Amino acid sequence: MRVLLLAVCCILILAILTRKFTNITSDNGVINTDIITLRNSIPGYVTFSPSIRPGTPIKEGSIIYTVENSRYGNIESVAQYYSLKNQLNSLTADIASLEIELIQHKKDYRRFVFLVATNSASTEQLEHIQTDLDRVNSLVKAKKQHVQETHKDLTDVVVQLKLFKTEEGRSLFQGVIWSVIARSGEYMASASSLLEIIDKNNVWVDAYFSEKHADNLKPHHPVTIKVIASGEEWEGKIEFIRAGVGRIAFNSPVEIPPESFKERMVVARVSIDTPNTFSAQEFYGIGRSVRVRIKK
């Protein structure tokens, strides 16, 4: 009886030590990323840059597509443009008329200065002419200031109209074309999905562990990532842990959704600290199966 009890105790101790000091490995895992959908902001005919197809590497700032809108300009901008043009023409005509009037007032002022000096006219008459001269001069200055402001407003509207005529879609990061949705030469309404791209520097691993290991998963804990197909190993760290896989829904435009895996799992988001050896043509390994090992 004592021998049996001792054997049971040894087995329990061995199980505890094994649990405490052995590595924890994920049941499965996958290299994942966000899918970025590019949409056009104006309607028109889309043209993709040469060689744009799935697997095409893209550089930050590179032009991916252009949209040409022959019927450019929204109703508000076009109406504002013609309103400002009419206003500018009206102001120009007013200034021309006032400048003619101003020339005449200056002549009258010089004549009355002479008449007052020769006692042929009163100072009150001269003051009246001076008042008219100042009034017209102020009107001309105000109109010219208004013209400058109108010119500026018109320039701003022209810039806005050009934005409605042509759009250049540029990549905000280095990455790769994931999929091309539209076709070059096709007319697309505004906010249409044109293509999908992924960011080279926004790739991670989603590792799925049994719930029994949940207490051993901690943020910032170092891990080893093993690519199953090649056997290559990378270093990484746990970023966050989410429980309830398959039971709690959450929205995220990732390539491999958590619903692909069975319930009662805990998913750990793992950063990849070792340089990714997969090329752009391999989509940086997105979708590849991995195992994540955590040393306790």
Segments forming the whole domain that contains residue 172: 39-71+167-198
Could you tell me if 55 and 95 lie in one domain?
no
3-state secondary structure 128-185: HHHHHHHHHHHHHHHHHHHHHHHHHHHHHHHHHHHHHHEEEEECCCCEEEEEECCCCC
Could you tell me if 285 and 241 lie in one domain?
yes
Supply the pLDDT for residue 240.
94
Could you tell me if 190 and 122 lie in one domain?
no
**Average pLDDT for residues 126-148, to the nearest whole number?**
86
Could you tell me if 61 and 191 lie in one domain?
yes
For 231, what's the count of Cα atoms within 13 Å in the CB-facing half-sphere? 0
Could you tell me if 194 and 205 lie in one domain?
no
Supply the pLDDT for residue 82.
77
CATH number of the domain enclosing 95: 1.20.58
Give per-residue pLDDT as tens, 43-55.
Answer: 889 999 888 999 9
CATH number of the domain enclosing 215: 2.40.30.170
Which of 6-15, 68-77, 104-113, 171-180 shows the lowest mean pLDDT across its residues? 6-15
Instruction: Identify the band that residue 152 occupies on the pLDDT scale cut at 50, 70 and 90.
Output: confident
Which of 61-65, 123-127, 259-263 shows the lowest mean pLDDT across its residues? 259-263
Cα 40 from Cα 187, distance rounded (Å)? 11
**Average pLDDT for residues 52-63, to the nearest whole number?**
94
List alpha helices for the chain, DSSP H.
Answer: 2-21, 75-117, 123-165
Give per-residue pLDDT as tens, 203-250.
Answer: 999 999 988 888 889 999 999 999 999 999 999 999 999 887 755 555
Give per-residue pLDDT as tens, 82-116.
Answer: 787 888 888 888 888 888 888 888 888 888 888 88
Instruction: Identify the band that residue 287 occupies on the pLDDT scale cut at 50, 70 and 90.
Output: very high
Query: For residue 286, is it within any domain?
Result: yes
